[in-house]
Each structure stands twice: as structure tokens, then as C-alpha cells.
């Protein structure tokens, strides 16, 4: 409506249309910041007036509340992210909110500046958090799916302590080459193809692809117990390719 009515609003804004604000993923927001945006604004339909039974705008709201806490965790000002709900006929409101947000972001300055973080540091922190998005969504799934009744709940829906704790609990998974029996169960069950290995090949986890779902840990037969959970210490480097061939005990000469 703002465009049709030829209303003026901040020219710095880059619009990305989606069918529903519920389509906006946590990863999209973090990637926008990683790619150099100083602020992210999400506009959705009025709460309670979603066209879909999924109430995507509530999902967007919860995601924003979660993302704001994540931003605080990595040292970014959460005011760089904003969500507002309005109808498609409220062009004047849209233009006003866009101008207001644009001014806010300009006052804050380039990402990292008012936050007192070095530019390279911001990028690496954002990239690190982005790789954990599946883990974060899995850990907070229940809350993300639960109803948000009224505005009074927004502030405390996700707390800073809760998010700090979430990140302190992040675990990595590692396959102990001494125990792996190349049964291939974990490789077949991994949802993101982060495990490589073959019939007689010790399996390894690609840490860059792993979304920390824990499926391999659950799937590895207890008699092998080859998958380990690692927290608070570095994950050992994978064994080199040439040393991955499994020599089964009965076949050793
Ligand atoms: S934790 Fe999940 S994603 Fe990571 S390697 Fe295991 S099964 Fe794959
Ligand atoms: S399930 Fe366990 S034993 Fe089987 S390939 Fe995976 S890590 Fe190795």
C-alpha cells in the first residue's frame, strides 16, 4: 500500500517478500546481519488476523524474541531487530515504522560499532551461531510451538540466562576410531549427511555439517558405544583417510 500510495520511506531498506512472516527463519535473520545489514525489520499481518491456521505471525514474533536474546548473548544490540504487525492497507503506518527503524539503526551506527565489537569478531560470532540454528530450534522447539497469550509475556518469554545456558550446554559428537565397527547405522540416520564412512571404514563426523541433533549418539549400538558427547573441550581431529580402513579382529594376521 505504501508503494501504491507513493509514500516515502527510507531508501536504504532492501525488501524481501515472503508469503507469511512465519516463513522468516532464524537463519535468515542471522545471515542478513552476517552479510552486512545493520538492522533487520520484519513486518507481519496483525496478530490474530493470520490468513493461515498456522498463525505464522506469532511464530515470527517468538523467533524475534529468541533472536534478540541470541544477539544479546553475542554482544549485539537487540534493537537492531524489530518486528511489527499491520494490515496491508496501513501504508502510512508501514512508512512511519520504516522511517523510525531506519533512524534507530542509523543512530546505532554500523553493526558492531555501538556494540563495541570488532567487525571480524561480529562476523565470526554470527557465523558460529548460525551453524547452531538447528540445535537452537530443536532445544527451544517446545517454547516456539507454545502459545504466546499477551504482550506482557513478551519480555520474559526467553530470558538472557536461559540463552546463555543454552550455549554453555552445546555439545559436539565424535566417533571414537578405536570403537567404531563401521556398521553404518549412524551414517544412514544422520539427517544432514554429516557422517562419512563405508562398509569397512571407520566413520567420521564432519563437524562443520553436524547440527548436533544427537541421533548418531542414540543410534550407535551400545555394544560399540563409539559415538561420544564432548562438552567444554575441543573435538579431536578426525583420523586421516589412509588410517580409516577397519581391521576386524578375526581377520587380523
Ligand atoms: S549429531 Fe546429528 S547431525 Fe551431527 S553427526 Fe550425529 S546424527 Fe549427524
Ligand atoms: S553406529 Fe557406531 S559403530 Fe556403527 S558406524 Fe556409527 S559410530 Fe561406528
Residues 143 and 25 in one domain: yes
Is 12 inside a domain boundary? no
Per the domain annotation, does 130 fall within a domain? yes
Q: Measuring CA to CA, how many Å separate 32 from each of 10, 103, 192, 246?
A: 18, 18, 23, 44
Asked if residues 57 and 20 have their Cβ atoms less than 8 Å apart, the reply is yes
Note the pLDDT of residue 173: 96
Judge whether 246 and 180 are in contact, CB under 8 Å: yes
Residues 191 and 246 in one domain: yes
Ligand 1 binding pocket (C-beta < 6 A) is: 173, 190, 192, 194-195, 205, 210-216
Determine the Cα–Cα distance for residues 208 and 168; give it in Å rounded to an integer. 19
- Higher-pLDDT residue of 112 and 188 is 188
Separation between Cα atoms, residue 151 and residue 138, nearest integer Å: 25
More confident residue, 5 or 48: 48
Instruction: State whether residue 68 is helix, strand or coil.
Output: helix
Predicted confidence at residue 253, as pLDDT, reads 46
Residues 72 and 54 in one domain: yes
Of 142, 168, 194, the residue at which a domain comes to its end is 168
Residue after which a domain boundary falls, among 139, 168, 197: 168
Ligand 1 center to 218 CA (angstroms): 10
Indicate whether 217 pLDDT > 90: yes
d(CA 143, CA 62): 8
Residues 154 and 210 in one domain: no
CA 159 from centre of chain: 17
**195 has which bridge partners?**
205
107 in a structural domain: yes
Contact residues of ligand 2, CB 6 A cut-off:
175, 180-186, 197, 203, 219-220, 224, 226-227
Q: Is residue 64 part of a domain?
A: yes
Same domain, 108 and 233: no
Q: Show the domain range for 244.
A: 172-251
Do 88 and 37 share a structural domain?
yes
182: domain CATH number?
3.30.70.20
pLDDT band for position 76 (cuts 50, 70, 90): very high
Residues 145 and 69 in one domain: yes
The last residue of a domain, from among 152, 168, 184: 168
Give pLDDT tens digits for 178-213: 999 999 999 999 999 999 999 999 999 999 899 898
pLDDT tens, 132-182? 998 899 899 999 988 877 777 888 899 999 999 998 888 899 999 999 999
| Total domains present in the chain | 2
**Model pLDDT, residue 1:** 52
What is the rounded average pLDDT of the residues 88-105?
Answer: 88
Band of pLDDT at residue 2, cut at 50, 70 and 90: low
**In sequence order, which residues have a C-beta less than 8 Å from that of residue 156 and are 6 or more positions away?**
none
User: Does 16 reside within a domain?
Assistant: no
- CA distances to 40, 131, 165, 173, 174 from 238, in Å: 38, 19, 28, 12, 9
Q: What is the pLDDT of residue 249?
A: 65
Pocket perturbation via mutation, ligand 2, pick of 227, 245, 246, 248 by most ligand atoms within 8 A of CB: 227
In a domain, 14, yes or no: no
Residue 125: pLDDT over 70: yes
Q: What digits encode the pLDDT tens for the residues 51-65?
A: 777 788 899 999 999
Ligand number, closest to the Cα atom of 181: 2
Query: What residues contact residue 204 under an 8 Å CB cut-off, 6+ apart?
Result: 175, 177, 195, 196, 197, 238, 239, 244
> Does residue 3 have a pLDDT over 60?
no
Residue 214 belongs to some domain of the structure: yes
Q: What is the pLDDT of residues 219-253, one digit of tens each?
A: 999 999 999 999 878 899 999 999 999 987 665 54
Same domain, 129 and 179: no
Number of the ligand 1 atom closest to the C-alpha atom of 134: 3
Could you identify the atom of ligand 1 that is nearest to the CA of residue 206?
A: 5
> How does pLDDT run across 6-32, given as a tens digit for each residue?
667 777 788 888 888 889 999 999 999
User: What would the mean pLDDT of 24-52 be, rounded to a whole number?
Assistant: 90
Segment holding 82, helix H or strand E:
strand 81-85
Q: Give the pLDDT mean for 119-126.
A: 89
From the CA of 206, the nearest ligand is 1
Q: Cβ(172)–Cβ(235) under 8 Å?
A: yes
Exposure class string for 132-157: b at 16+ Cβ within 10 A, else e: bbbbbbebbeeebeeebeeeeeeeeb
Amino acid at each position: 500500500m505504501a508503494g501504491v500510495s507513493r509514500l516515502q520511506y527510507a531508501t536504504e531498506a532492501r525488501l524481501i517478500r515472503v508469503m507469511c512472516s512465519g516463513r522468516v527463519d532464524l537463519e535468515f535473520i542471522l545471515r542478513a546481519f552476517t552479510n552486512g545489514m545493520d538492522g533487520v525489520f520484519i513486518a507481519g499481518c496483525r496478530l490474530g488476523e493470520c490468513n493461515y491456521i498456522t498463525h505464522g505471525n506469532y511464530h515470527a514474533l517468538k523467533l524475534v524474541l529468541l533472536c534478540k536474546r541470541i544477539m544479546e548473548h553475542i554482544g549485539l544490540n537487540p534493537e537492531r531487530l524489530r518486528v511489527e504487525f499491520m494490515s496491508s492497507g496501513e501504508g502510512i503506518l508501514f512508512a512511519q515504522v520504516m522511517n523510525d527503524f531506519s533512524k534507530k539503526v542509523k543512530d546505532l551506527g554500523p553493526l558492531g560499532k555501538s556494540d563495541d565489537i570488532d567487525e571480524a569478531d561480529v562476523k565470526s560470532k554470527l557465523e558460529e551461531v548460525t551453524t547452531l540454528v538447528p540445535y537452537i530450534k530443536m532445544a527451544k522447539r517446545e517454547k516456539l510451538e507454545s502459545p504466546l497469550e499477551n504482550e506482557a509475556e513478551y519480555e520474559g518469554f526467553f530470558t538472557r540466562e536461559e540463552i546463555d545456558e543454552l550455549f554453555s550446554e552445546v555439545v559436539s559428537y565424535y566417533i571414537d576410531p578405536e570403537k567404531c565397527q563401521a556398521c553404518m547405522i549412524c551414517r544412514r540416520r544422520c539427517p544432514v549427511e554429516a557422517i562419512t564412512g563405508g562398509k569397512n571404514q571407520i566413520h567420521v563426523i564432519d563437524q562443520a555439517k553436524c547440527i548436533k541433533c544427537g541421533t548418531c549418539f542414540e543410534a550407535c549400538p551400545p555394544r560399540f558405544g563409539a559415538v561420544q558427547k564432548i562438552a567444554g573441550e575441543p573435538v579431536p581431529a578426525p583420523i586421516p583417510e589412509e588410517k580409516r580402513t577397519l581391521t576386524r579382529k578375526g581377520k587380523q594376521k
